[in-house]
Amino acid sequence: MNSLLAQLLLVRKRKAYWTLLGFWIVLPMLFSYLLPYFAFTSDSNFRPRGLDKVLLTELLPQNFVNNILASFPFFGGTIALIIGVLFVGSEYSWGTLTYAFTQKASRLKVFGGKMAALGIVLIPFVVLVFMFAFLASLLIAMREGQAVELPPLLLTMKALGACWLIMAAWSSVGVMIAVLSRGTALAIGLGIIYALVIENFITVFGRQIEALSTLSQFLVRTSGYSLIYSLGATVQSAAGPGSFFGEYLSVARSCAMLGGFVAVALAISAAVIRWRDVVGNS
């Protein structure tokens, strides 16, 4: 408990987490609400084809859950990966792990406290985005004179849990990369390359190459998009940020895969921390 409270206090005093939280809130609001609503109000080509009503419906409160879900596997995953790297990598860079490990608590107990704190820290990164999405959709409904309806409560709760699990999987990958590289700079660079380039490459070319198609079913990206798709989110299939080209997995398999990523990444990290020197590299 003391390790957990100490880690939460450390997070509260670090500006990097508050900066990431603010940036993460702005990002989905921009791509999920501000830009689509600007297109709705400024593009007269929507109206003759009746697309304006479809676009407006997606921006209303009853659809805010499905609308915001698509931001988590791509944008949210990248933010979560950086959070995971900072949670451990910064300790290597500062040399504070050496001090922490010389106290009464064992290495694994300190690491366990950090991971418990990481799980708690991810909660506002999910809940606040949902709150701002609902507020944005409510303002649009009021401005356009539309009726305000709420999505099913069960759907909202499932979506919150799914988004937390997606971010937990990505942050665990960030933790593992930070532990293996013993720093932050290299870990963030490698993590972003993996998340935005390698996994995307595998899913894109998995359409033509059978081996890559099979491999793509074991990626964080595939499990994340499959999970939000099962909840009703619209996933882009064209090129661009947040697009996905692979095959969708079942809900049970998606959850199992994401949970497996968390378990395996943290187990590897714990084993390395338990047996290896903790002097940082970057």
Residues 6+ apart with CB under 8 A from 63: 57, 137, 151
Confidence of residue 22 (pLDDT cuts 50, 70, 90): very high
Q: Is residue 164 part of a domain?
A: yes
Q: Is residue 163 part of a domain?
A: yes
Confidence of residue 20 (pLDDT cuts 50, 70, 90): very high
Tokens of 215: 């491999």
Is the per-residue pLDDT at 146 higher than 60? yes
Q: Is residue 57 part of a domain?
A: yes
Average pLDDT over residues 252-261: 95
Is the per-residue pLDDT at 175 higher than 80? yes
- Kindly report whether the global pTM for this prediction surpasses the value 0.85: yes
Q: Is residue 74 part of a domain?
A: yes
Does residue 203 contact residue 221 with C-beta atoms inside 8 Å? yes
| CA-to-CA dists, residue 17 to 84, 166, 236, 241, angstroms | 11, 18, 29, 23
Q: Tokens 């942050």, residue?
A: 171
Confidence of residue 173 (pLDDT cuts 50, 70, 90): very high
Q: Is residue 280 part of a domain?
A: no
The number of distinct structural domains making up the chain is: 1
Owning domain of residue 7: 2-275
DSSP string, 57-83: HHTSGGGHHHHHHTHIIIIIHHHHHHH
Does residue 148 contact residue 165 with C-beta atoms inside 8 Å? no
> How do residues 62-98 score in pLDDT, each as one tens digit?
999 999 998 899 889 999 999 999 988 887 777 677 6
Q: Is residue 282 part of a domain?
A: no
Q: Is residue 281 part of a domain?
A: no
